Amino acid sequence: MSHVEWKVKFAAGVLEARGYKNGQTVLAVTRETAGAPIKLALLPDRQTLAADGQDVCIVQAQVLDNAGRLVPIAEVPVEFHISGSGRLIGVGNGDPSSHEADKGGRRRTFNGLCAAIVQSSLKPGELRVDATSSGLRLQLPRLPAKLATKRTDRIPPAA
């Protein structure tokens, strides 16, 4: 397997790359230039958490344009708000040079992305995650994550 790379002068629009093997197309990838940041979307990695005080969910925040495309150059502050049966335990954005606190409710996006880590409580109920960022409207006003009854499939800690 080999790696092919080349520089392309930037121009707004659509870029398509195709890979061939024995004259047949084996891969085609298209990228389209994003527009201005308009929306903030929240995507949890799961919809249900165990009400055991330990289960966590990573909620990704994405800055999107009007067509729903990720805006990879967006660097905007996002404020996370948690309510219900759980709590915010951390935030992140993947930027290795960021000096922002990992504990707290606010994080700047890096490459258009950041995330909140939420943890369930011991009380079954509903956990709500909301986020705000100046000038962006929240695509999904709330992300309910229903907390299951207490989990029994976990191995108890050793005495």
DSSP string, the chain: -----------SSEEEEEEEETTEEEEEEEEE------EEEEEES-SEEESSS--EEEEEEEEE-TTS-B-TT---EEEEEEEESEEEEEEE---TT--S-SSSSEEE-BTTEEEEEEEE-SS-SEEEEEEEBTTBEESSS-EEEEEESPP--SPPPP-
Q: Which domain holds residue 60?
A: 39-139
* pTM of the complete model: 0.80
Q: Is residue 8 part of a domain?
A: no
Report pLDDT digits (tens) over 136-154.
988 764 555 666 555 545 4
pLDDT digits (tens, 9 = 90+) for 112-133: 999 999 999 888 888 889 999 9
CATH number of domain containing 105: 2.60.40.10
Does the residue 132 lie in any domain?
A: yes
Q: What confidence score (pLDDT) does residue 149 get?
A: 52
Residue 102 domain-assigned (yes or no): yes
Domain tally for the chain? Answer: 1
Residue 5 lies in a domain: no
With respect to residue 159, please indicate whether it lies within any of the assigned structural domains: no
Q: Given pLDDT bands bounded at 50, 70 and 90, which one contains residue 10?
A: confident
81 assigned to some structural domain: yes
